[in-house]
Amino acid sequence: MTSLPARATGTVVVSKGLDGAVFTAVGLFKPSNGKVYQLWLQVGGRMRPAGLMDPDRTDTVTLLDGPVAQASGM
């Protein structure tokens, strides 16, 4: 698990009606060349990929892939 830099914030916004979510981040470090941040959801005790963040942005909003109703963590 990666911690956010001290100046960074991250927020998950969930829509139960749409069974979806977005992750917003501000102040992230730009990943090293060839690297990206990947989002994950915990569903039934297992982690599943939920999308990639834009590596060229330190402030971003990312739509998570797939339904989130059964997720217990991100």
Domain hosting residue 56, numbered range: 9-73
Take residue 71 and report the two structure tokens written for it: 């997720």
**What average pLDDT does this structure show over 30-48?**
93
The pTM assigned to this predicted structure is 0.81
**CA 26/CA 32 separation, integer angstroms:** 17
The phi and psi torsions of 8 (rounded to 5 degrees) equal -95, 155
43 belongs to a structural domain: yes
At 72 the pLDDT is 92
At 35 the pLDDT is 93
24 belongs to a structural domain: yes
The closest alpha carbon to 7, from 25, 24, 32, 33, belongs to 25
Domains identified in the chain, total number: 1
34 alpha-carbon distance from chain centroid: 18
Examine the pLDDT at 5 and tell me if it is beyond 80: no
